[in-house]
Amino acid sequence: MSVQPIDPKKPDLEESTNVAEQHAAVTRASAAATREQQVRENGLEPVSIWIFIAGSIVAIIAGSVLFSSNNLFGYDKFVKAGYVQADEVGGVKTVPMGEVEAVYMAKGASSYNKCKGCHQPDGKGNAAFPPLAGSEYVIDSPVSVLMAVINGVEGPITVSGKSFNSKMDPQLNKSTDNLEMAALVYYLQNSFGNKVGKIYTPEQMNQVKAMVAERPEGLCSAAELDKFRKIQLEGDLFEPGTLINKKTGEVIEQEK
Ligand code: HEC
């Protein structure tokens, strides 16, 4: 049998080549190559572990800088003004305290929930209920406002130039906590546009309680409230910013 000359353009026509075997070898090699070098879309290639670690370090440092700068995650942004600490932090008993203005405003606002159905949330009242905003009984003296609230009011009364002739039953009583009373007065005298600014102490409320005990029981008339409007409380007021115990109203002495 004569050997055919090899045509370089058609090597597999050479008889000594096993075409099926060669073909299988090429297929195996290309499958292996495909496994080794997966083709990724641009931008989806896996990142080097070192770049990943470097990026994490930058993120941790940047995060702590943002935290400590008080700009993005600052304490002041997350903690409301007038925030008062819990009684117990991590098992350690602490005194719940705050600046008197903030404590009084928060307590007073909660007491005012009892009143706002009539005197309205903005304190301006309406045709049936007199205003507390701009009311001489609220602004002139803590005595008139508390006497009205503790004893109730009945009969014709002119408030801030508008006339009413109706009745309010007692809203607080003589056993109401002094701290609650002082806070309500501060809230009423410094809300709705009222700006009295005086900060009465819980202790001063005993003077009001004594006046309640002296008068005969029954609702107050406008004439009686007008007398109370001229009476002021004796003793020292709280200085603005005084730290007090939120529950007892006691002054907290600060270490200098
Ligand atoms: C059920 C309705 C009602 C509720 C609740 C109520 N009041 Fe009154 N209040 C009145 C009416 C009505 C008068 C006027 C009475 C009159 O005409 O003699 C009045 C009068 C007053 C006055 C004297 C007049 C003035 O406007 O300054 C004060 C102060 C006052 N209320 C404060 C309060 C406070 C504080 C509370 C909540 C603790 C409260 N009231 C809850 C109806 C209410």
Structure tokens at 57: 């370090």
Shortest-distance Cα residue to atom 16 of ligand 1: 166
Q: Which has the closest alpha carbon to 144: 249, 237, 223?
A: 223
Q: Which has the closest alpha carbon to 204: 225, 183, 188?
A: 183
For residues 207-218, give the mean pLDDT.
95
> What is the number of the ligand 1 atom nearest to the C-alpha of 166?
17
**Quick check: CB of 97 below 6 Å from ligand 1?**
no
For residues 193-221, give the mean pLDDT.
96
**Quick check: CB of 220 below 6 Å from ligand 1?**
no
Cα–Cα distance, 80 to 106 (Å, whole number): 12
**Quick check: CB of 192 below 6 Å from ligand 1?**
no
pLDDT for 20 equals 85
Q: How far is the CA of 71 from the centre of ligand 1 (A)?
A: 45
For residues 234-245, give the mean pLDDT.
95
Lowest mean pLDDT among 5-14, 21-30, 53-62, 238-247: 5-14
Q: How far is the CA of 160 from the centre of ligand 1 (A)?
A: 14
Residue to substitute in 112, 119, 144 for testing ligand 1 pocket (most ligand atoms within 8 angstroms of CB): 119
Residue to substitute in 129, 136, 153, 168 for testing ligand 1 pocket (most ligand atoms within 8 angstroms of CB): 168
CB 242 within 8 A of CB 102: no
**Quick check: CB of 118 below 6 Å from ligand 1?**
yes
Share of the chain above pLDDT 90, in %: 66
Query: Nearest-5° angle of CA 245, CA 246, CA 248?
Result: 65
Q: How far is the CA of 132 from the centre of ligand 1 (A)?
A: 8
Tell me: pLDDT of 166 over 90.
yes
Query: Nearest-5° angle of CA 62, CA 65, CA 66?
Result: 90
Stronger pLDDT, 17 or 133, i.e. the higher one: 133
**Quick check: CB of 205 below 6 Å from ligand 1?**
no
Where do we find the tokens 């029981």? 217
Cα–Cα distance, 139 to 143 (Å, whole number): 10
**Quick check: CB of 148 below 6 Å from ligand 1?**
yes
pLDDT for 92 equals 72
Those residues whose C-beta lies under 8 Å from the C-beta of residue 168, and which sit 6 or more positions away, are 118, 148, 152, 153, 154, 219
**Quick check: CB of 98 below 6 Å from ligand 1?**
no
Shortest-distance Cα residue to atom 8 of ligand 1: 168
**Quick check: CB of 137 below 6 Å from ligand 1?**
yes
Where do we find the tokens 């006691």? 250
Stronger pLDDT, 181 or 2, i.e. the higher one: 181
Cα–Cα distance, 36 to 81 (Å, whole number): 62
